């Protein structure tokens, strides 16, 4: 019988699952999403290949879970930041900052690497659902501000924020690019 490396079996299984996800993240970044296989993840995590199948029936299910976990953290971060804002305009600013933090962080690099490879259908569905979930509080804030077409405006906000994140990734200042994105977005919302 295999030994468990935690006080309880539940904790052991959670640690194993995290080790597998961490190994998949590393592989995604190291191989631009092309090297994620059950065998490679098992080797990177220091587990037997058969152990991976106890958690994930296929490479696709592993990648889908990885994308789902990382995008769920984005949706949670957006919701948490926006819930602390005092009014709708501050919630928009909170969204901008949360989205820039995601787009310039490690999780987005992992998700992009996974999606650059052969994308399993489970990933496509997860990305669409979770990005919509992460954007929903922005749509609500824009609606509260009286923006005529809040869903379209939310897409435009995301586009501006994505460009600011790209500029930051290219060496631009986080502070100045975020401030410029906020000014541009507020001017557009008021116009």
**pLDDT at residue 59 is higher than 90:** no
CATH class of 61-190: mainly alpha
For residue 181, name the pLDDT band (cuts at 50, 70, 90).
Answer: very high
Q: Are 165 and 107 in contact (CB under 8 A)?
A: no
Q: Which pLDDT score is estimated for 6?
A: 62
Tokens encoding 121: 């259908």
1-57 and 61-190: identical CATH topology: no
Residues 6+ apart with CB under 8 A from 122: 60, 61, 63, 64
Q: What is the CATH number of domain 1-57?
A: 1.10.10.60
Q: Are 45 and 18 in contact (CB under 8 A)?
A: no
Tokens encoding 189: 């919302």
**pLDDT at residue 97 is higher than 50:** yes
What's the rounded mean pLDDT across residues 144-161? 94
What is the spatial distance between Cα 117 and Cα 179, in angstroms, rounded to a whole number? 34
Domain edges within the chain: 1-57, 61-190
For residue 12, name the pLDDT band (cuts at 50, 70, 90).
Answer: confident
**pLDDT at residue 160 is higher than 90:** yes
Q: Are 20 and 55 in contact (CB under 8 A)?
A: yes
Closest CA to 111 of 29, 17, 14: 29
Q: Which pLDDT score is estimated for 5?
A: 64
Q: What is the largest CA-CA distance in the chain?
A: 67
Closest CA to 38 of 23, 87, 163, 122: 23
Query: What is the percent of the chain with per-residue pLDDT over 90, rounded to a whole number?
Result: 40
Mean of all residue pLDDT scores within the chain: 86
For residue 1, name the pLDDT band (cuts at 50, 70, 90).
Answer: very low
């Amino acid at each position: 019988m295999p030994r468990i490396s935690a006080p309880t079996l539940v904790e052991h299984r959670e640690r194993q699952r995290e080790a597998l996800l961490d190994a998949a993240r590393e592989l995604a970044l190291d191989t631009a999403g092309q090297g994620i296989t059950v065998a490679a993840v098992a080797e990177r995590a220091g587990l037997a290949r058969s152990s991976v199948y106890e958690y994930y029936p296929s490479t696709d299910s592993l990648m889908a879970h990885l994308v789902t976990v990382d995008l769920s953290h984005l949706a949670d971060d957006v919701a948490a930041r926006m819930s602390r804002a005092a009014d709708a305009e501050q919630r928009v600013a909170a969204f901008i900052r949360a989205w820039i933090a995601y787009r310039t962080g490690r999780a987005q690099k992992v998700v992009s690497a996974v999606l650059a490879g052969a994308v399993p259908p489970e990933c496509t569905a997860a990305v669409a659902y979770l990005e919509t979930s992460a954007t929903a509080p922005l749509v609500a804030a824009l609606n509260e501000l009286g923006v005529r077409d809040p869903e379209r405006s939310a897409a435009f906000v995301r586009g501006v924020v994505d460009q600011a994140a790209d500029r930051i990734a290219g060496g631009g200042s986080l502070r100045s690019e975020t401030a410029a994105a906020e000014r541009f977005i507020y001017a557009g919302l008021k116009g």
